[in-house]
Amino acid sequence: MFQNNREGLALALPAAVFTALLFLLPVGILLSEAFRVDGQWSLQGYVDFAVKPLNQTVFLRTLKLGFLVASVSAVIGYASAFCIVNMDAKSRGRVFGLVVLPLMISPVARTYAWIVILGRTGIVNDAIVGLGLSDTPIRILFTETAVFLGLLQLFLPLMIISLVSAMENLPKDVIPAARVLGANWFQVFTKVILPLTKDGLVMGGTLVFTGSLTAYIPPAILGGSKVLMLETLLYQRVNVANDFVSAGIIATILIVMSFGANLLLKRIAAARK
């Protein structure tokens, strides 16, 4: 640590001022607009927003998909992470690399693939018709299922990474120790692995949950106007109706939920220390 803190402030300030002025200030003004109706401070905008059935549906759907994606990725994440940490070093590195890789690839590209897979003439429908399960192709694209799959594919790596690093930090030999003491695999998981990897689970869960809430591409490409989520609803309100009040409200909801999740994460992480 150096003593001249004014020097330090001078080094840190440009970045902070840049972000505050050109990023936080405009965003702050936008959010505050949702609390103004006809030039007066008011919550009327929120009331009007909340009573519309479409808005309710979209809000609940967004929450539901967020939870669903987080839960399913937790299940897949635990299974995969457990397998990954038990591999030999060489294949572990390779598999881990393959898990991380998609994060570096354009989400548009990642999501677009599902059109080919789930479309009317996609692989899944070809299989369904080919196997005689249905006479005509069924609609999967533009359903919640499609959006769910898109989100899951986008964010699953974050969960796996969090859980792998949590499991790598497990004290050596606790699992064999629990087995020797007579625990079955279910007990090993619930009584040893789960409590010891809770931080990783919370971390991954927060990343996946907030990621899903605020993702634009999967609902836009795979949901369209039939399966709106908050982000796509926001886009539509602005583009179709020039409705900046709704945009501000949705923005506030999104920020509050992301912030809430992050705060929860910090709280839980701090409580463990």
227-256 binders of other proteins (CB under 8 A): 231, 234-235, 238, 244, 247, 251, 254-255
Tell whether residue 216 is a contact of other proteins (CB under 8 A): yes
Candidates 220, 229, 245, 265; binder of other proteins (CB under 8 A) is 220
Nearer to other proteins, 108 or 194 (CB): 108
Closest CA to 32 of 242, 244, 267, 272: 244
Tell whether residue 63 is a contact of other proteins (CB under 8 A): no
Say which amino acid occupies 26.
P
Candidates 58, 175, 201, 221; binder of other proteins (CB under 8 A) is 221
3 state DSSP class of 227: coil
Tell whether residue 116 is a contact of other proteins (CB under 8 A): yes
Window 88 to 107, contacts with other proteins (CB under 8 A): 95-102, 104-107
Tell whether residue 264 is a contact of other proteins (CB under 8 A): no
Tell whether residue 270 is a contact of other proteins (CB under 8 A): no
Chain-centre distance for alpha carbon 87 = 28
Tell whether residue 23 is a contact of other proteins (CB under 8 A): yes
Q: How far is CA 248 from CA 33, 148, 181, 238, in A?
A: 6, 26, 56, 10
Tell whether residue 47 is a contact of other proteins (CB under 8 A): no
Tell whether residue 258 is a contact of other proteins (CB under 8 A): yes
Window 152 to 211, contacts with other proteins (CB under 8 A): 152-153, 156-157, 160, 210
| Cα gap 265→199, rounded to integer Å | 8
Strands in 79-217 per DSSP E? none
Nearer to other proteins, 197 or 210 (CB): 210
User: Interacting stretch for other proteins, rule CB under 8 A, among 45-53, 77-85, 139-147, 174-182?
Assistant: 77-85
Nearer to other proteins, 27 or 181 (CB): 27
Phi, psi of 246 (to 5 degrees): -60, -40
Phi, psi of 105 (to 5 degrees): -100, 145
Nearer to other proteins, 191 or 266 (CB): 266
Candidates 55, 80, 197, 246; binder of other proteins (CB under 8 A) is 80
Output 267-271 pairs: Cβ under 8 A, ≥24 positions apart. Answer: 268/198, 268/199, 268/202, 269/199, 269/202, 269/203
Closest contact distance (angstroms) between CB of 246 and other proteins is 11
User: Interacting stretch for other proteins, rule CB under 8 A, among 53-61, 82-90, 127-135, 194-202?
Assistant: 82-90
Nearer to other proteins, 51 or 131 (CB): 131
Closest CA to 233 of 54, 32, 92, 78: 54
- CB contact burial 142-180 (16+ within 10 A = b; e otherwise): bbbebbbbbbbbbbbbbbbbbbbbbbeeeeeeebeebee
Tell whether residue 137 is a contact of other proteins (CB under 8 A): no
Tell whether residue 76 is a contact of other proteins (CB under 8 A): yes
